Amino acid sequence: MDSRHNKALKSIMWDYNITFKQMGMLIDGKAERAGHYTFETLFIKMVSGLPWFSIVDIFGPEKLKELLTDDVIGRIWPKSVREKYYYVRKRLQEALPDTK
């Protein structure tokens, strides 16, 4: 996690006592939890509260295509943001077709 990522995460996690190192380890798959967050709950908080360019910068389009499942998108709040991510997932699937 670099300083850009830390700044983005700070904007949504300002009220929690979770370090950037803990969040980075969770995002990198090196930890099961950061505070009370799992990877999925932190990811949902990120897509609900960060600008799209920050999400792409942290995860990259290929990983986002994998992460934006029906279950994850269905848990995004508010509904208006949820609808945008159904559209985003569709566009990622069109732009980055599976090569299998």
- What are the tens digits of pLDDT across the range 29-43? 999 999 999 999 999
CB of 35 closer than 8 Å to CB of 16 = yes
Give the model's confidence band at 100: pLDDT under 50 very low, under 70 low, under 90 confident, else very high.
low
Identify whether 26 is part of a domain: yes
The two tokens of residue 50 are 């960060």
Identify whether 100 is part of a domain: no
* Domain count for the chain: 1
Q: What is the reported pLDDT for 4? A: 85
In the chain, % helix, strand, coil (3-state, to 5) comes to 65, 0, 30
| Global confidence as pTM | 0.90
Domain that holds residue 51: 3-95
CA distance 29 to 82: 25
